[in-house]
Amino acid sequence: MGKFLIRRAISSAIVFVISVVLVFMSIRILPGDPVLAKLGAATQVTPAALKALREAAGLNRPLLSQLFSWIWHAMQGNLGVSYFSQFPVTKLVGARIPVTLELTFFIILIAVILALIFAPLSSAKPGSLIDRVIGYVTSLGLSVPGFVIGIIFILIVSLKLQWLPSRGFVPLTTSVPQNLKLMILPSITGGLTATPYLVRYLRASMLEIKQSSFVRTAEGKGLSGARIMFRHILPNSLVPTLTMLGLIVGYTLSGVLVIEYMFGLPGIGSLAIESAFKRDYVVIQGVALTIIGFFILTTFLFDVLCGIVDPRLRVTKGQKSEA
Amino acid sequence: MKLKKHFSFSGALILTILGICLAAPIISPYDPYAIAVGDPFAGPSAAHWFGTDDLGRDLLSRVLYGGRITILIAMSATVIALIIGTLWGVTAGVRHGWVDEFLMRTADATMAIPQILFALVCISAVGASVVSLPLVVGILLSPTTARMARSAVVTELASDYVVAATASGLKRSRLILSEVLPNIAPQLLVQLSINAAAAVMLEATLSFIGLGIQPPNASWGTLMLQGYAQIWNSYWFVFFPAMSVTITILAFNAYGERIRVSLDSRRSSV
């Protein structure tokens, strides 16, 4: 287990470092000057003033030195200061993380519940009408962009039926019911985009488990179909699905960006989009670092969790060939 | 016979969408930029099949022209992703050791960055245009293509004919170009179709959050952004571009799926 942990931790760390460097470099290498963007409408900027601003922002130093000093500061929990609002990035990101986490939690919750309903239904009789209908709906779900689902919900639930508001946010600390009311539509929207992946994966792994000998034994013992499904097949197919869930959390974070923005939720996704409009690179970098870190951490945790639950998964490819 | 096997509803749908978008200047009833050709926020009618937008522009014409931009960006992005991804994956698959390791770790790392976030970073730096969007989207889609190309190449290199060809002294580069690449072409076609769907989705998403095609030009995503802003005034404004995007993505995904299934059945029947 220890060896497995170290191996996974090292490969996660490598992926994290490369992706963070990629983000940093693409911001610096691409044209576009944050100082110019900051000055924006201000006219009559003297070249000297421009130079001073660049120096203050450290933009005249060599790329690698900028990269290392950014990483060095990031490790100390200092992600820099927004070019625009002059707030520390950690503060901006920190203030918005709870919203994103809450939304992500609800999205995953909804997706998991729906998957636990539809995957067993679908795999009970492969090829049956129910299975085919669920198959078509999941294919459809994989093709509909999240914001289109959001638009449909707003059109029906907010505009036609006027049940729920389409925009806005109330912090959990202010009012729990109001917060939840505003979270319903974004969560369902995100949940429905994540569900098809889970249903497909869970169905496939349930069908695989169905072939195994212990299921045949259970059938031979004369257990009821439902009991075999929920006591034998489902628990055993959850383990591979856990790995998938880790990935889905990651994809969800990507979708959350747009969902937050369209429903007006002040999470880190809308922070990233607002900063992109303002070209506030320091903030975008900070958000990217947070989201990537969160994504890699969740996939790592889910992998470790799977390794704990199912020792067979601890063997990595390299080890297998040695054995 | 082969043609018949590959004919499908989704394929026909893709061709129809491409045809309609190409023919937009001929078939669209109005100038997409001409304002006040109808009343603002009119619903669908005989004169304006898709209704009109906030400035009284004909939505059908705008959707047709928007499709040209969306499809153009998606196709260029798909081609870019195919070229970069194939080079990337084939190089990794052919060369073992640290080159492979480095290339694939980079692919993993790129995939760890949420696509929209990475696109935000690039677009905010270079600005959105008909040139930058395909490049950014194409680069974003290349690591998945690379993974697919690599695994296809590795499987192919292990097959008997490669061993035989190598033994008979065929040059490695020649073998890759004239034997291996044509053999993995069907798998690349599957990826091409899936990538096209993903590219349409990414372009629409970026334009929808306002970081894509800028007005007065409008892709489907831009139209959705405008329609979404006016959602309280008109249901239809946002509805038609959203449907166009969804149907197009669905067609590309279904086509990719179909080829994959026919590939699998061919392989299992051998």
- ipTM given for this complex: 0.81
Task: For residue B114, give the nearest of A142, A159, A253 by CB distance.
Answer: A253
| Structure-token match 């639950």, residue found | A309
How far is B128 from B213, CA to CA, in rounded Å?
Answer: 6
Mean predicted confidence (pLDDT) in B176-180: 84
Least confident residue range of B7-21, B79-93, B244-258: B7-21
Q: Determine whether the interchain pair A148/B245 forms a contact, defined as Cβ–Cβ distance below 8 Å.
A: yes
The per-residue pLDDT for A133 is 92
Whether residue A290 contacts residue A94, with contact meaning beta carbons closer than 8 Å, is answered with: no
How far is B40 from B237, CA to CA, in rounded Å?
Answer: 10
Give start and end residues of each alpha helix (H) in chain A.
2-29, 34-39, 47-57, 63-75, 89-124, 129-143, 146-153, 176-210, 213-220, 225-227, 234-263, 268-278, 281-309, 317-322
Whether residue B65 contacts residue B28, with contact meaning beta carbons closer than 8 Å, is answered with: yes
Single-letter residue type at A154: I
Mean predicted confidence (pLDDT) in B231-252: 87
Q: Determine whether the interchain pair B228/A151 forms a contact, defined as Cβ–Cβ distance below 8 Å.
A: yes
Residue A76 to chain B, least CA–CA distance (Å): 22
How far is A92 from A75, CA to CA, in rounded Å?
Answer: 17
pLDDT tens for chain A, residues 1 to 323: 778 888 888 888 888 888 888 888 877 776 666 666 666 555 566 777 777 777 776 677 777 888 888 888 877 777 778 877 778 888 888 889 999 999 999 999 999 999 999 998 888 888 889 999 999 899 888 888 888 899 888 888 888 887 887 777 878 777 778 888 888 899 999 999 989 988 988 898 888 888 888 888 888 888 888 888 888 888 888 877 777 787 788 778 778 888 998 898 999 889 988 888 887 878 888 888 888 888 888 888 888 888 887 777 676 544 443 33
Residues in chain B within 8 Å Cβ distance of A262: 208-209, 228
The per-residue pLDDT for B81 is 95
pTM: 0.85
Residue A62 to chain B, least CA–CA distance (Å): 19
Which of A148, A166, A193, A292 would you mutate first to test chain B, the one with the most B CBs within 10 A? Answer: A148
The per-residue pLDDT for B6 is 57
Is residue B225 predicted with pLDDT exceeding 70? yes
Which of A16, A151, A156, A285 would you mutate first to test chain B, the one with the most B CBs within 10 A? Answer: A151
Helix (H/G/I), strand (E/B), else coil: B44: coil
The per-residue pLDDT for A318 is 47
Is residue B7 predicted with pLDDT exceeding 80? no
The per-residue pLDDT for B1 is 40
Which range scores top for mean pLDDT: A61-65, A284-288, B154-158, B242-246? B242-246
Residues in chain A within 8 Å Cβ distance of B114: 250-251, 253-254, 257, 291-292, 295
How far is B51 from B29, CA to CA, in rounded Å?
Answer: 12
Helix (H/G/I), strand (E/B), else coil: B169: coil
Res. B159 pLDDT band, cuts 50 70 90 = confident
The per-residue pLDDT for B268 is 63
Measured between CB atoms, does B116 come within 8 Å of chain A? Answer: yes
Which of A57-84 are b and which e, b meaning 16 or more Cβ less than 10 Å from the residue's Cβ? beeeeeeeebbeebeeebeeeebbbbbb
Q: How many pairs of residues across A and B have Cβ atoms under 8 Å apart?
A: 139
Is residue B82 predicted with pLDDT exceeding 90? yes
Whether residue A141 contacts residue A135, with contact meaning beta carbons closer than 8 Å, is answered with: no
Higher pLDDT, A257 or B29: A257
Residues in chain B within 8 Å Cβ distance of A23: 113, 118, 121
Residues in chain B within 8 Å Cβ distance of A19: 109-110, 112-113
Whether residue B84 contacts residue B145, with contact meaning beta carbons closer than 8 Å, is answered with: yes
How far is A67 from A75, CA to CA, in rounded Å?
Answer: 12
Res. B96 pLDDT band, cuts 50 70 90 = confident
Among A277, A254, A279, A278, which Cα is nearest to A267's? A254
Higher pLDDT, B111 or A269: A269
For residue A37, give both structure tokens: 């963007």
Beta bridge partners of B58: B52
- The per-residue DSSP string of B55-117 comes to T--BHHHHHHHHHHHHHHHHHHHHHHHHHHHHHHHHHHHHS-THHHHHHHHHHHHHHHS-HHH
Over chain B, what is the mean pLDDT? Answer: 84
Q: Determine whether the interchain pair A254/B116 forms a contact, defined as Cβ–Cβ distance below 8 Å.
A: yes
Contacts of B89 (CB under 8 A, 6+ apart): B145, B146, B147, B148, B149, B150, B151, B152, B153
Residues in chain A within 8 Å Cβ distance of B203: none
Q: Which helix (H) or strand (E) holds A85?
A: none
Residues in chain B within 8 Å Cβ distance of A15: 105, 108-109, 112
Is residue B269 predicted with pLDDT exceeding 60? no
